[in-house]
Amino acid sequence: MVLDFVVPSPQGTSWGLGGTCVNVGCIPKKLMHQAALLGQALCDSRKFGWEYNQQVKHNWETMTKAIQNHISSLNWGYRLSLREKAVAYVNSYGEFVEHHKIKATNKKGQETYYTAAQFVIATGERPRYLGIQGDKEYCITSDDLFSLPYCPGKTLVVGASYVALECAGFLAGLGLDVTVMVRSILLRGFDQEMAEKVGSYMEQHGVKFLRKFIPVMIQQLEKGSPGKLKVLAKSTEGTETIEGVYNTVLLAIGRDSCTRKMGLEKIGVKINEKSGKIPVNDVEQTSVPYVYAVGDISEGKPELTPVAIQSGKLLARRLFGASLEKIYHTLFWPLEWTVAGRENNTCYAKIICNKLDHDRVIGFHILGPNAGEVTQGFAAAMKCGLTKQLLDDTIGIHPTCGEVFTTLEITKSSGLDITQKGC
C-alpha cells in the first residue's frame, strides 16, 4: 500500500501522485527553463539570419497550462503503474498510533486504520518559511510557482540555494524583472568558484542581487493577480534597512523534513530534533527495526549536506596534509554561442584528480549548456575508474562542449592563463 497525501501549501497549492520532482521540482523547473532558453534562441536567431518584425512576447498562462497538462499525464502514469503492480493507493495522510498500526486520514477527515509488518517512510521535504510578518499570507514558494495561474511580474527571490537561482534564472529568461536577496553566500556547500561564476553570469543577464540582506516584514499594498507587496529588509552586517515593492515574493531559503507530525514518537523512531531528519543504518533501518526511511529525510544521505562535509574534508587535507589532488581546468566558448555573439570565457570546466591513485578523476565540474547531459556520461565513466590518462586518450566528439574534457592541460596550481582566444 502507498499512502500519498499532499498537505496544501499556505497558498492552497496541492498536486497529484509522484512527489516533489514530478510535480513541483525537476520536471516543471526544466520545462520552464526550456521556455526561457527558447526566448534566448529567438534573440540569437537574428544573428543566424532569421528576420522577423513582429513583437515577441511570452504568455505565462499558456506555458503553465502546457506544463501542468504534462504533469497530469505523469501523475496518471504513476497511478496506472501502481494498479498494474497491485499496489493499493490511498490518498490519505498517514500517522503512527501504535506499533505496526497507522491511522490514515483523507481530505474529508475520514479516518481508517491499517496494520503492516514493515513500513517505509519516504515523505521528503517541503519549503521553509521565514517566520516573519506576512510570509505565509503573501509569499509563494517553489510549491506554488509551477502552477501559478498568473504571471508573477516583478519578482523578489529570497534565498541563494540552487532552487532560488534556478527559479530566478528562468523567470528573468522569460523577460521578468527579477531580484535575488542573498543572506550570505551563493550555493552554500557547492564549489564556490563555480557558484560565483553562476552569480556573475546571472547578473550579466539581467538578474539583480541584493547581498547581505534578509526580509523582516512583508506587507500587501494591493490585492491582485499579481498584487503589490512591500518588503522591508535589514542588513546582516549592520543597521541599514531597505524597502522594495514587488508583485511577487518567492521564498527559496531551504527545505524541512516532513517527519514531525506522523506519530514517530509513539513508536520510538528517533529523529534529529534540530533537522527533523531520521538517522538510519547502512540498510536504511531506523531505530525501530521494522521501520525504514529513504530519501531526503534520511540523515547523512545525499541531498546537499554531504557535499559540504566532503568539501570540509578536502579542505582539511589541503591545509594540514600533503595535497593528494591535482586540478585541471579551462574556460571554453560553445560553438553555438560564437555567431550569436554571446560571451566568451564564461563557460568553465574543471576536474579533480587523485595523484596517489593514477590521477583517478574524483571530482567533475561543468558550467555551460546541457551541463546535465554532459555530466551523466562522465558520471558513469567515473564509476568505472576514469583517469586523466583515459580522458587524454579519448577522441573528442567535435564540435561539442563535452570534448573540452579530452584536452585539459592546465593545472590550477600552475597559474597559467585559461582564457580562450578563438572557437
**Residue 91 amino acid letter:** N
User: Which of these, 167, 158, 161, lies nearest to 190 by C-alpha position?
Assistant: 161
Which of 100, 329, 365, 398 is labelled catalytic? 398
Cα–Cα distance measured from residue 81 to residue 413, given in angstroms and rounded to the nearest whole number: 52
Residue 245, C-beta contacts closer than 8 angstroms, at least 6 positions apart: 154, 221, 228, 229, 230, 231
Inter-CA distances, 273 with 114, 220, 270, 339, Å: 27, 34, 9, 55
Burial degree of 154 (CB within 10 A; 0-12, 13-18, 19+): middle
Q: Between the CA of residue 102 and those of 91, 119, 213, what are the distances in Å?
A: 14, 10, 44
398 is an active site residue: yes
Neighbours of 259 (CB within 10 A): 20
Q: Which residues are catalytic?
A: 398
